[in-house]
Structure formats: C-alpha cells, structure tokens
Amino acid sequence: MQGVTLRLTGGDRPALVVGATRQAISAVATLRESGMPVRLCTTARPPASLIAHDEQGDFEWCARAFSQEDVSAARLVIAADGDPAVNTVLRNSARHADKLFLDATTGRGDFELLGAASRDNPRDDLWQHAQVCLVGAGPGDPGLLTLDGQQALAGCDVVLYDRLVAPAVLDFAPKNAERRFVGKQRDHHHMRQPALNALMIELAEQGQRVVRLKGGDPFVFGRGGEELIDLARAGIATRVIPGVTSGSGCATYADIPLTHRGVAASVQFLTAHGRHGELDHDWTSLVRGGHTLVVYMGVMALDNLCPALTRHGMRVDTPAALIERGTTPEQRVLTGTVSSLPGIAARHTVTSPAVLIVGDVVNLRHTIARARTLEHTEDPVIDPGSPRAYGI
C-alpha cells in the first residue's frame, strides 16, 4: 500500500480485506491504526499476531472465500489475493455494490476519491465498470486527446497502441504501466487483429486494466467495433472513449471547413480501400454537388478514387486537398483539383498517413488565408509554430 493515502476514520462498518499476502497484512494493520474494524477473508491462515487481535472485537478472520454479503456489508473493499483473477472478481463485486475499492497488489483504486463524489461524478473513476477501454487518441496532436482518454490512461496497467499515436500521449499512462506496440500499416501488420483481440481478452482475464489506444476515433475506420464485439462475447466489461477522427481534425488544422453555408450542406467519410480490395461505391452520391468527401488512406485514393470520380461525372475542376501528417508539426497541405492533385502529390512525394478532401469547401482554405492578410502586408499572417504553416 506504499504511496496510497487513506482518508479514513473509524466507524461501525468494517473494511473487507481479501487475501493473505504481505499486502493484505499491511492493509489490515493500516486500517486498524485508523480505528476501522476489519474483516479478513482468506482460506490461508493469517499470522498469529493478527489472530490475537480477533479477541479485541475490531478484527474478524473468516476462513473462507469472500461472499457478496461480505462486500455489501463493507465500508470499503481491498483486494490483496495472490491470484489476480480473485482480485478482478472482487473489484467487479465492489463496484457493482458502489464500494470504495483498492487493489493492494497494484496500488490502484479509489481511496483518493470521496464516496459521494465518486457517485455524483462518474468521470472520477472511468474504470468503475470496465476492464478494457478503447480510447481514441486523435489524429496526431497530443492536445486533441480527451480528458476521459487521459484519465483512462492514468489508471491503466497495460497500453496497446497503434503506430499513429503520438509518443507524448503514452506519457499519460503510469510509468510502471506496460506499453506494447500493436500497430498496423498496409501489407504489414505487427499483430493481426484476431491475435490482438485475444491478447486484450487474456490480459483482462489476468486482472489487468487494458487501454487499447487507437489513432483517431475507435469507431471511424478504426476496427473498434470488431474489438468491442469480441470483448463482449468473452464477457469482458468494456468502455469506448471517442477521439477526434483524422478526417475532421486534419481538415480543421488545414483551415478547411467540411460544411459551410452555401457551399456544402453534407459530408461523407469513406476509405479508399476495402477489406478485400477496391470498394464498390455509390458513385451517384459521391459526385453530387454541395457535398464534401473525406477520404481516409488518401495517398492510395489519388491514383484510384480521383480518376473514378471524374469518370462517374464529377467536375474535373472540383477542388481537392491532400493533408499529409495532419495536426502534427510535419503537416503539409497540397491543394489542386480532383484531376490535378495526383500529379502534384507525386511531384512532392507525399507519403502516408494522409487524408484527401474533395469538394468546393477546399477553396475556403484560400479564402481564410486572404482574410488573414493585413492591408499593409502581402503574406498571410500564419503562426510559424502551427501545422498550418506547412501548407503548399
């Protein structure tokens, strides 16, 4: 229990401690010093020094496994068993009963929270009903990680992260949390999806709190749905925390509004490549006017999707932009038309990750740049420290 501050005083209801490890013995001693009665549930015989306290009325040893009645009667619950699976079951039982909980074997719990505050503000403990959190890390800028995402990372034991996750985001996890790279890119998967799903289930069943940290948003071309289904089938309690999807975030950092009154009243997100090859799009919906296309895997889309759009009736002069490494200091924005942009990108050697934006809203980037121009200057006023300064 080193490093854990117990904000506790005595009372009639006991604290429940489960296990016979050294952490369990330390927890019992600490709780008794605070004046709180203790119930210890373990089939292993505790030290004689503890059994001697049984006669004083403030300590009870139950030579059996804990029950739900033990949890319900407790003021707080401490897991200190040598078997992580037992601690996991106890954690779930405690939180189902709305009890303060601490895993003394890892030092993680909610003793720093007041009980009422924990109930009034569910953000105080994002792990209350989850063993795995699928967290969207955003498109690259660490500042786009949500507060819930930060709190999930702060309470995890293991982080499984993608290649597009900024290293600074991993710093929100505890220093002793395990960090595993499980990223994917086209034709090269560090870990196949079925194996990754099995790994999350295995870690959760071991009692680990797992963050699956994904670039962008888990449910927008992020395979979060596939992961959630497998976890649910395995009976793993899961929470999904959304993130800023790259299509939206990159467009914003490039000064391209995806919708704009009088220019575009709708927006469509699509990917340039399907699970088994090229996608069979509804071309009529894609080429209509007053509509914005946001294409993930944008580099691939240049040679495949752009020519197909013009073949199906899109104006060849429809504005288009390619945003490379959006929201990062290495961001580049190339603009042209749906017919000219593939050649422009080839000359500038654009590489993934990149997002393609097609539609008249792309011209608003230049309108915004002109609006920033002061009357006595010739160049737009652009912060050189911003990714927006890297546009072409």
List phi, psi (to 5°) of 343.
-70, -40
Bridge partner list, 270: 295
Strand order in the sheet with 291-296: 266-271, 291-296, 354-358, 319-324, 332-337
Distance between CA atoms of residues 2 and 4, nearest Å: 6
End-to-end CA distance of the chain: 56
Q: Is 184 a catalytic residue?
A: yes
Say how far apart CA 254 and CA 293 lie, in whole Å. Answer: 15
Q: How far is CA 36 from the centre of its chain?
A: 38
Does residue 125 have an active-site annotation? no
The residue from 162, 217, 230, 255 that is catalytic is 162
Strands (E), the chain: 15-18, 38-41, 59-62, 76-79, 100-103, 108-109, 132-136, 158-161, 178-181, 184-185, 188-189, 210-214, 238-241, 266-271, 291-296, 319-324, 332-337, 354-358
Nearby residues of 391 by Cβ (< 8 Å), 6 or more positions away = 254, 331, 332, 333, 335, 365
Give the separation between CA 149 and CA 170, rounded to whole angstroms: 11
Token pair 């955003």 is found at 138
**Which residues have C-beta within 8 Å of that of residue 184, sequence separation ≥ 6?**
162, 163, 190, 191
> Which amino acid, 299?
V
Catalytic residue (choose from 124, 148, 184, 360): 184
Q: What are phi and psi of 311, to 5 degrees?
A: -65, -30
For residue 264, give both structure tokens.
Answer: 């575009």
- Residues 279 and 358: their CA atoms lie apart, in Å, by 17
The residues assigned a catalytic role are 162, 184
